[in-house]
Structures are given as C-alpha cells and as structure tokens.
Structure 1
Amino acid sequence: MSIDPSSIPNFGGQQPKPEQPKKPTRPVLPDQELVKRLLDQMKLKYVVDKEGDLVAPWEKFRTYFMFRGEEQQRVFSVRTFYDRPHGVEDIPRLLETANEWNRRTLWPKIYTHTHDDGTVRFIGEVQMIIGTGVWLDHFLASAVSWIRASIEFDKWAVEQLGLAKDADSAVRPDDSGGEAGEAGGEAGENNGQ
C-alpha cells in the first residue's frame, strides 16, 4: 500500500486537484512501515531507537511514534519529549502554560515530568485506538496534524515562557541523528504501557 500524497493535509495555500487514486475500500491496520513512508514523504528524518520505536529528532525535542497493545486494544501513540530543562521552582509557571495549551487545543495534551536530577521538562502526547483497523485518510491526516501540533507547541511555549533565543531552532530537524538514539532509553522508561 502506498501513501496518496493528496491525503497529507496542507494547512496553507492551495492544493492541486490530483487524479483520484484507488483508495482502500476497508480499514487498514497501520504499522511502523506506514509511518516510515509518511515521514519520508514529509521529508522528516527519523531513527529507530533501542526499543524499536520510530523517533524523529529535532534540536530541542524528539517525537516518538509507538504501537502498543494487542489486537482490538492496539494503540498508536505519538509522544514528544521537549528537551529544554526547567527547574522545580518553574513548575507553577510550566503547569499554567501546559493548562493554557490544553484548554486552547485538542492535541497534543501537554504535561510536565520531573526527572531524578530535579529538571522539569514538557511532554506532549496523543493516541489513537487502531484496534482492528482505521481508514487510511483518517490515520494519515491525524498523524500529520499531531506532528505539526507538536512543532507548534514548541514554538508557542518559547513565546509564552520568553525563550525567544531558542525560537529558530524549534522547527529544524536535528541533522546528527544520534540524539534520539541516545535518548531512547528515557522515552522507553516513560512509555512502557
């Protein structure tokens, strides 16, 4: 199965009217290969971490694409770990920022995590039950929206928290490719559902 480029949402500008390709007449069961093809089409770099999850690394955050559960309980999860460290004294302001984002948007839902070393970071998360299958267009549109919203949260948080000096690094993918692999253990510890 290939991904129809016209099924990737474009939130700006006019989209050309492509020929109508043959679409699946029944739901599909998304898998990691489908997500890889989507990321390739979006021209996003990714690696596979030591737990086997796909990770798209940026300079200030990493987005993981995970499949969990069995059969009808199967879930596709997109989880973003924002790497800017904050102190525990910043928690009230961080929670206020996360609450404002969560009130204003549908996804990703943002929360904070305090690490053993006392640093506090944001995490964004969204899931879709894929059970025995979902419509391909719905899956692709949702995944693209979640990726874009994760990027938007980073830019928005930079503005809200006065971190403007980091703003231009928020949307550039990390060229090193190593950051996500090294950090994979952290995500694995936090996503073991």
Structure 2
Amino acid sequence: MSIDPSSIPNFGARPEPQPETGPAGPVIPDQDLVKQLLDQMELKYLVDDEGDLAAPWEEFRTYFMFRGEEEQRVFSVRTFYDRPHDIEQKPKILEVIDDWNRRTLWPKVYTHTHDDGTVRLIGEVQMLIGVGVSLEHFVSSTVSWVRASIEFDKWLVEQLGLEADIEADGDDKPDAED
C-alpha cells in the first residue's frame, strides 16, 4: 500500500484538480504506513523501546500507536508536551486547556501531575481502524492531528505568555557565529 503525495492536505494552497478515480477500498493502517506518511511529510521519527513510533520536536514528542486486537484496533496519536508547569499554575492551565477543548476537535488535551509536583500536558486523539478506513481519511486525519498538535503548543505559549521564557532560554544558547 502506498500513499499518493497529492493526497496529503496542503491546508491553505489551492488543490490541483485530480483525475477521477474510483474510491480505494478500506485499508487497515499499520506502523509502516505511518512511517511512509511521516517520510512524505519530511518529519524525523524513531521507534521507542516499546515499539511505538515517535516524532520528536523541541518542546514535545508525538507518538503514533496501535492498540487492541482485530475489530477493536485503535490508532492513537498522543503528544507529550515537555514544558513543565508548577503545580500552583494548574488552575490557570486547566482553564486554558478547557477553552482549547471547547473550541477545537483535536487534540483533546489533559494534564498529568508528576510526583515532584510538576504538571505536564498531553494531547490525544484516536481512530477506530479495526474494520478498515479509507486511505484518504487516514492520511488527512493523521496530517491534521499532527498540525493541530503543533498549533496547540504555539497557542499555549501565547495564552500563558511564555514567549519571554522561550526568548530567555534562547539567549543562553550560543550563536552560530561563536
């Protein structure tokens, strides 16, 4: 099974007309299909110790996981946002992510409080794939979910006023000319 590069949504540019073809039958996506899609999106990825596919960014990691058996098989895209927040910030964070969850379809975001008191965010979305899905639906959904995960991080930085923290972190890094 192969992904047609023209089937990857471009979100903003006008699509070029495609020749009329009949609909492809349902596919049951697997990790190789996701790897192919990530390659075409020019995203770096790795396979972790548990066998899950992960795409790392600077402030978060997105995992592409398959769980369940046969007709109950689920494809899950889960993003772990690495930026730690103090437990005192949790009420404000909950208010902000509730706003995100009301306004958007995906990813749905929730908090996880670690034993040391830091709060981190996790975004998640799933698709039931056990009986098969159209390739076009799988590709467009996965691409949309990845882009929405990236957009959530940008949105959160704006909502919590973290731009100054990010710029300050960048000042500690050596310049390319040094």
TM-score, L = length of structure 2? 0.89
Cα deviation code 1:11-59 (max 9, x no counterpart): 11122234456752x2000000000000000000000000000000000
Question: Could you tell me whether the CA contact under 8 Å between 1:53 and 1:64 is conserved in 2?
Answer: yes
**Unpaired runs of 5+ in structure 2?**
170-178
Amino acid at match of 2:126: Q
SS of residue paired to 2:83: coil
Question: Could you tell me whether the CA contact under 8 Å between 1:4 and 1:21 is conserved in 2?
Answer: no
Task: Write out the 4+ residue segments of structure 1 that deviate beyond 6 Å after TM superposition.
Answer: none
Question: Does 2:75 match 1:76?
Answer: yes
Decide whether aligned partners of structure 1 residues 22 and 52 sit closer, same or farther in structure 2, where only a CA change above 3 A counts: farther
Alignment of 1:17-32 (within 5 A): 17-19=17-19, 24=24, 26-32=25-31
Amino acid at match of 2:52: D
Decide whether aligned partners of structure 1 residues 59 and 21 sit closer, same or farther in structure 2, where only a CA change above 3 A counts: farther
User: Whole-Å Cα distance in 2 between the matches of residues 23 and 49 of structure 1?
Assistant: 35
User: Whole-Å Cα distance in 2 between the matches of residues 143 and 5 of structure 1?
Assistant: 14
TM-score, L = length of structure 1? 0.83
Count of residues in correspondence between the two structures = 167
Match of 1:110 in 2: 109
Larger C-alpha radius of gyration, 1 or 2?
2
User: Whole-Å Cα distance in 1 between the matches of residues 48 and 21 of structure 2?
Assistant: 34
Q: Per-residue deviation at 1:164?
A: 1.0
User: Whole-Å Cα distance in 1 between the matches of residues 20 and 160 of structure 2?
Assistant: 45
Calculate percent identity across the aligned residue pairs: 71
Greater relative CO, 1 or 2 (CA 8 Å, sep 6+):
1
Match of 2:35 in 1: 36
**Unpaired runs of 5+ in structure 1?**
170-193
